[in-house]
Amino acid sequence: MVPIDLILLCLLGVLIGSVSALLGVGGGFFYVPALVLLFGLDPRIAVGTSLAIITCTTLSASIGYGLRGQVLMKSAVCLALPGMACAVFGALITAYLPSYLLVALFCVVLLFMGIKMIYRKFPLVFPLMVGPCWKECYNRPPAERIELCSYPVHLVSWGSLAGFMSGLTGIGGGIVNVPALTIVGIPIHFAVATSAAVILITSLFATGTHVALGHVSLAFFLPIAFGAVVGAQAGVYLSPRAPPRTLELAVGTLLTIVVAALVITTYFS
């Protein structure tokens, strides 16, 4: 790989890593199509490589958010534990799916993500307030301590779906985790931080499965991951200052364009 390609891959990682940290998502919604459309990787390799990059990105972001005390540990555990098993299951399925079907599934998930970002009221996630609950606390500046009720059934259900989607399509699962947290009253910045920690865990297990299947390209992983780690820290820094609604609208619009490009390239070229 020539030096200019390495530089471009690093810059790609910086850009996507920043946006991912800002939104609390893994970034696979851009890594996978970029690897498929721009570099011609097999969709399976793109999914596995994307998850490996996401692991590095969310590790960087999680350290930043953890130092700020924004990760809600009880909610993170409830989302992550079922997500780990489901992520491995989703990753194993990719070995048996033809490429065109894998791209189709990815496009469906991407389209839902785009619609959700543009239209916040789109019912992608709904509350499951059943069964037992416990108190989850967070601190709100300047010195206010807030308590809310978290339902394990709600978190386990959506954590399972997010993990499965992660292993199958190479996205981080934040598009499910973040609204699953905010819909029960958790502020967006805490939801984003908690989602990043959960994605780190589920992506790690999904990546290990894809490595075992031979679905990770080191040549693309290393430069993008390097840029993504830097970008994730930039996203953490900008998170309190960024206008989240403007960012969501821009990313949602871009995702619909990416879906159209993937469909045309895969099925009509």
- Residue 82 has φ and ψ, to the nearest 5°, of -70, -30
CB atoms within 10 A of CB 183: 17
Q: What is the pLDDT of residues 9-53, one digit of tens each?
A: 999 989 888 887 777 666 788 899 889 988 889 999 999 999 999
Q: Where would I find the beta strands (DSSP E) of 3-143?
A: 134-140
- Residue 142: is the preceding peptide bond cis (ω within 30°)? yes
d(CA 75, CA 65): 15
Q: Pull the structure tokens for residue 28.
A: 């696979």
The C-alpha angle with vertex 157 and arms to 96 and 57, in degrees rounded to 5, equals 70
Question: Ramachandran region of residue 214, left (φ > 0), alpha (ψ -120 to 50) or beta?
Answer: left
Q: Pull the structure tokens for residue 134.
A: 């416990």
Q: What is the pLDDT of residues 65-91, one digit of tens each?
A: 888 888 888 899 999 999 999 999 999
Question: Ramachandran region of residue 146, left (φ > 0), alpha (ψ -120 to 50) or beta?
Answer: beta
d(CA 240, CA 237): 7
pLDDT of 204 reads 93
Provide the whole-model pTM: 0.85
CA atoms within 13 A on the CB side of 84: 12
172 closest CA partner among 133, 199, 132, 140: 199
The arithmetic mean of pLDDT across residues 142-165, rounded, is 84
Determine the length of the chain. Answer: 269
Q: Pull the structure tokens for residue 35.
A: 């690897």
The arithmetic mean of pLDDT across residues 127-149, rounded, is 74
The residues near 92 (Cβ < 8 Å, ≥ 6 apart) are 167, 209, 213
Q: What is the CA radius of gyration of the chain?
A: 17
Q: Where are the domains of the chain?
A: 3-267
The residues near 145 (Cβ < 8 Å, ≥ 6 apart) are 137, 138, 139
Give bridge partners of residue 138 from the DSSP assignment: 146
CB atoms within 10 A of CB 249: 15
Identify the three-state secondary structure at position 144.
strand
d(CA 214, CA 66): 32
- For the chain, what is the mean pLDDT? 85
Q: What is the pLDDT of residues 209-263, one digit of tens each?
A: 999 999 999 999 999 999 988 887 887 777 667 676 777 787 788 888 888 988 9
pLDDT of 163 reads 94
Q: Which residue has the higher pLDDT, 87 or 149?
A: 87
